[in-house]
Amino acid sequence: MKPNQRKGVPVATQRAERGGARGPYAKSSAKRRAIVDAAHEVFSQRGYRAASLKNITDHAGISETSLFHYFGTKQDLLVAVLDHRDHLGIRARPDADGCVDLYTELRQQAEWNEDVPGVIQLYSVLVSEATTEDHPGRQYFADRFTELRQRYAREFALLQEQGRLRPGSDPDMLAASLVALWDGIQVQWLHDPASVDVPATLKSFLDLAILPDPPA
């Protein structure tokens, strides 16, 4: 490889970073996006390891040379797919008070997931595959679990302060359980969509953990 050239980064972008001209052409971001979409689908259908780059280029209708221009390695592509999933995946946001209703957030997120083909499958297949040795997605999922557990633990702790948590419950345990329940029920849904209702299952768990609002 020549000096001043980095794998996986378009030359134009590298020039731009050095204060030179241009940056990526207009078409290239659309093409990157098309590659990421194709990779998303193939990874979700076959897993990361069993997916070949040819599977992906065939699906995207491009040459392998093109793929290597945008993503230097298969790992880079996986990272891009996971990042893209993160940007896709957020539906409910805190309201003006900085609060979210946990029920509403989970329901909206769960319903949206089901509507976008491949999102649940990608996540479910990779989160397990990534537990195996030397998997490039390992850190991503470890971080994701830590972050999700902390976030929900804060919500449950807040409810506990308000006396709205069932006595004897631990916010950290509830948070880990909520994440686990969600992941697990999604896998059951993938196996048998007709007999599993993801949003209703999440609601039933919250109903167990959270006491009804005291009458005003």
Partner DNA sequence: GTCTATAAAGTGATAGAC
Partner DNA sequence: GTCTATCACTTTATAGAC
Question: Residues interacting with a copy of itself, by CB under 8 A?
Answer: 44-47, 49-50, 121, 124-125, 127-133, 138, 141-142, 145-146, 166, 168-170, 173-174, 176-177, 179-185, 187-188, 190-192, 196, 200-201, 204-205, 207-209
Candidate segments 6-14, 94-102, 167-175, 196-204, binder of DNA by CB under 7 A: 6-14
Count the Cβ atoms, other than its own, within 10 Å of residue 39: 27
Considering the complex, what minimum distance in angstroms separates the CB of residue 140 from DNA? 17
Q: 165 φ, ψ to 5°?
A: -95, 145
**Helix locations, the chain, DSSP H:** 11-17, 26-46, 53-60, 64-70, 74-88, 102-115, 119-129, 138-161, 171-191, 198-209
Smaller CB separation from a copy of itself, 20 or 89: 89
Q: 210 φ, ψ to 5°?
A: -105, 130
- Asked if residue 2 binds DNA (CB under 7 A), the reply is no
Smaller CB separation from a copy of itself, 36 or 135: 135
Smaller CB separation from DNA, 59 or 85: 59
- Asked if residue 52 binds DNA (CB under 7 A), the reply is yes
Name the 3-class secondary structure at 185.
helix
